[in-house]
Amino acid sequence: MMEIQTRNVDPDIVILAITGRLTMGRNCKQLEWSTDSLVREKKTKVVFDLSGVTHIDSTGIGIIVMSAGQLKKAGGDLRVCAQGHVEEILKMTNVDKVVGLHPNIDAASNWS
């Protein structure tokens, strides 16, 4: 089971705090729909907080990369906050070359 909590830290920066498993199925679709909704609302500076994610598979990685492309196309940017096992997987799969990978929310949400 995965949950997404949305909060604004700035008028134009949105944090999606994701907890649980970011794996194939409805979970990933939920994250995809959240990103689509933000783009439609013209909120294109987005941070995925993956610090609460316990497991990620190739579908989850694909959603992160796809979301980054979607936000970039809309003139925005996706940043990811991850630690431990999830951070290692993102680095191993070179996702950190596509999105900014940060150790905490403060670093990820600093656009200045």
Least confident of 25-29, 44-48, 83-87: 25-29
pLDDT tens digits along 65-107: 999 999 999 999 999 999 999 999 999 999 999 999 999 999 9
Please report which confidence band the pLDDT of residue 25 belongs to, taking 50, 70 and 90 as the band edges.
confident
Please report which confidence band the pLDDT of residue 1 belongs to, taking 50, 70 and 90 as the band edges.
confident
Tell me what the mean pLDDT of segment 50-55 comes to: 95
Ordered by start, the domain boundaries in the chain are 2-105
Query: Taking Cα atoms as reference points, which of 13, 83, 20 lies closest to residue 101?
Result: 83
Q: Are 99 and 86 contacting, i.e. CB atoms less than 8 angstroms apart?
A: no
- With 80 as the cut, is the pLDDT of residue 112 above it? no
pLDDT at 12: 83
Please report which confidence band the pLDDT of residue 26 belongs to, taking 50, 70 and 90 as the band edges.
confident
In order, the DSSP letters of 47-71 are EEEEEEEEEE-HHHHHHHHHHHHHH
Q: What is the spatial distance between Cα 90 and Cα 79, in angstroms, rounded to a whole number?
A: 12
In order, the DSSP letters of 16-40 are EEEEEEE-TTHHHHHHHHHHHHHHH
The CATH homologous superfamily for domain 2-105 is STAS domain (3.30.750.24)
Q: Are 17 and 105 contacting, i.e. CB atoms less than 8 angstroms apart?
A: no
Q: Specify whether the backbone of 35 is left (phi greater than 0), alpha (psi in -120 to 50) or beta.
A: alpha
pLDDT at 9: 87
pLDDT at 52: 96
